[in-house]
Amino acid sequence: EVRLVESGGDSVQAGGSLTLSCAASGFTEYDYTVAWFRQAPGKEREGVSYIDLSDGATYYAGSLEDRFTISKDAKNTVYLQMNNLNSEDTAVYYCAAQPTYRLREGILIPRDFRSWGRGTRVTVSS
């Protein structure tokens, strides 16, 4: 069973930085991709970034690559480094996982992912 546990959410000032972690486990059969999504108050959940755990390929939604960096370590912990945060980054951040073969390259939408963590809250104040 895939298990995802997020951590690192906090309250920060605008312009600050934060690194989120997603401890991922239970990948026994397929190569997996782990993604970060976020859901702001009153808004739909949206994709942020993903990383292919087998080859490290990454994808970012929109212009987030300018400020966000996704990475992984050898223990399948996936990180999201977020810089120059602003109020629009306030959200609950979720990590999600899915076998890579089930995903479409360059597409990052919630319904494509089956396994989810419980989320970690990021609040950016001005």
The beta strands (E) that lie in the chain are given as 3-7, 11-13, 18-25, 32-39, 46-52, 58-60, 68-72, 77-82, 91-99, 115-116, 120-125
Average pLDDT over residues 93-110: 95
- Please tell me the distance from the alpha carbon of residue 112 to that of residue 120, in angstroms, as a whole number: 21
Q: How many CA atoms lie within 13 A of 49 on its CB side?
A: 24
The encoded tokens of residue 39 equal 């859901």
Q: What is the mean pLDDT of the chain?
A: 96
Average pLDDT over residues 10-38: 96
Q: What is the pLDDT of residues 55-76, one digit of tens each?
A: 999 999 999 999 999 999 999 9
- Per-residue confidence band for 94, with pLDDT thresholds at 50, 70 and 90: very high
Average pLDDT over residues 29-39: 95
How far is C-alpha 51 from the chain's CA centre? Answer: 9
Beta bridge partners of 17: none
Average pLDDT over residues 35-43: 97
- Please tell me the distance from the alpha carbon of residue 115 to that of residue 122, in angstroms, as a whole number: 21
pLDDT in the model for residue 19: 98
- Per-residue confidence band for 125, with pLDDT thresholds at 50, 70 and 90: very high
Q: Which residue has the tokens 């979720």?
A: 94
15 pLDDT more than 90:
yes
CA nearest to 95, candidates 32, 44, 60, 49? 49
- Please tell me the distance from the alpha carbon of residue 1 to that of residue 116, in angstroms, as a whole number: 11
28 pLDDT more than 90:
no
